[in-house]
Structure 1
Amino acid sequence: MTTKLFLSIASLFTSISILKAQETATLEVKNPPIIVETVFGDKALGFQTTFQKKLTTAPKFGIFAVSDIIGTWDKDDTDGFMVQGNITYELMKNFNLMGGFHMATGVDIRPAVGVIYSKGSPDYVIVFNPRYYIDDNGEMEAFLMGEYKPKISENWRFYSKIQAMYAAITNEGNPHTRSYLRLRAGVNYKEISFGLASNFEYFGPQKFNQNNFGLFVSTALF
């Protein structure tokens, strides 16, 4: 029942977006780049892409998508993947409503709703994204990311990032399902960043811990 309701809402959003595109003249929209990051760690290879774009002819609407993959070197450790895709609507500056789907290791495809607050400049980026999964479990998730990259020279910047996520099933007394803390420190040259990486990953109600330390490289694809 909830899935049918979600699909109906998604269809409504899509219809409104098409009407807006037909009625609005083409505008110049400044979209952030697609970010692709790879981590070469002692325990695993990590890969993450972040896609956030607004529609040129209907800039209130956009798409926000993330994919995250962990492939471990040791078969006794935990592999994992996560993919989400969302339609966004700008309610006010830096603040967007979102609705879409989420799928991950051991979990069926689930509809989700939430909000995204994002703000940035050449020196910093802040993103906060709480969301709620529309299913019988009542799972909630909160995502926070911050980047700080002050200028060193014409083409070089110091680069640092903190990224955290926490998910729990509220219908079962808040048992933990998945969380992590990821830290980056290095340098940025034009659209490429690289340096040291630390991942602290936790799985399931028992918070099984799996850490990963190594090097990262990321690039901004425009």
Structure 2
Amino acid sequence: MFTTAIFSQQQTDTLVLALQENGKTTSVKEHKKSSISLETMVGDNKVNYLSILNSRLGNNNKLGYFSVITVATPYDYENGLNELVLSSALTYKLINKLFATAGLQYHFLKGIVPYAGFQFLTANPKWLFVVSPSIAFAENTSLQNIGIVEFKPRITNSLMLYTRVQGIFNINLDNTLHERSLLYLRTGLSFQKTSLGFGFNIDFYGPNKTRQKNFGIFIRHLL
């Protein structure tokens, strides 16, 4: 359930943009209800792409919807398979900083998978912290935990440092074996709604934790 982590980041981007758009303080209620995030990383072994639609439903800001597309395309089949994941889910704010999530995901290996979980996030214009456990109700039920930390100090009125550490650990509950985990690092600069810099991905697959690395340049933009 990699997309839960992506949603955490996108939802918080919307919140942070509401706080600091154009260098001014803006209330969250004044910020647009929908946003789109696009990120591409061109690495030495593969190309990673993601797009996210995040939207609040209604006027009470408790109910939300998000849709995510993630693609990973290796240059050589020795570096893995083409990966495609499509997700759609509803979110509901339970209490301050705590959300419930539930939806469906199409996974290139597992097919259509329903999932549900919780998400805790806290953010300000400089820091972001997210923890999000979830359960995927596929043929083999799996448990996943996600953690994200971002540090984005302002350098000038229009320029910020952008850094992100993102980790995922997924375990099969039927046999307690490792399914999928990763560590993604980003460092670069942000100008208004666009970030550009270097990325480093380490992906682990299967019970033997087969490792794949990818180092490259990423560009990220919020619409």
Match of 1:96 among 99, 111, 120: 99
Q: Is 2:155 aligned against 1:152?
A: yes
TM-score (norm 2): 0.81
Distance 1:66 1:135 in 2: 19
Q: Matched residues, percent identical?
A: 24
Alignment of 1:47-126 (within 5 A): 47-78=49-80, 79-126=82-129
Distance 1:65 1:52 in 2: 7
CA drift of 1:108 comes to 1.6
CA drift of 1:32 comes to 7.3
Backbone CA RMSD of aligned residues: 1.8
* Structure 2: gaps (5+ residues): 1-27
SS in structure 1 at match of 2:207:
coil
Bigger Rg over Cα: 1
CA drift of 1:110 comes to 1.1
How many residue pairs match? The answer is 194
Distance 2:54 2:121 in 1: 11
* Structure 1: gaps (5+ residues): 1-26
Distance 2:129 2:163 in 1: 12
CA drift of 1:48 comes to 1.5
Question: CA, structure 1 residues 118+50, in 2 after alignment: closer, same or farther (shift >3 Å)?
Answer: farther
Alignment of 1:1-222 (within 5 A): 28=29, 30=31, 31=33, 33-78=35-80, 79-172=82-175, 174-221=176-223
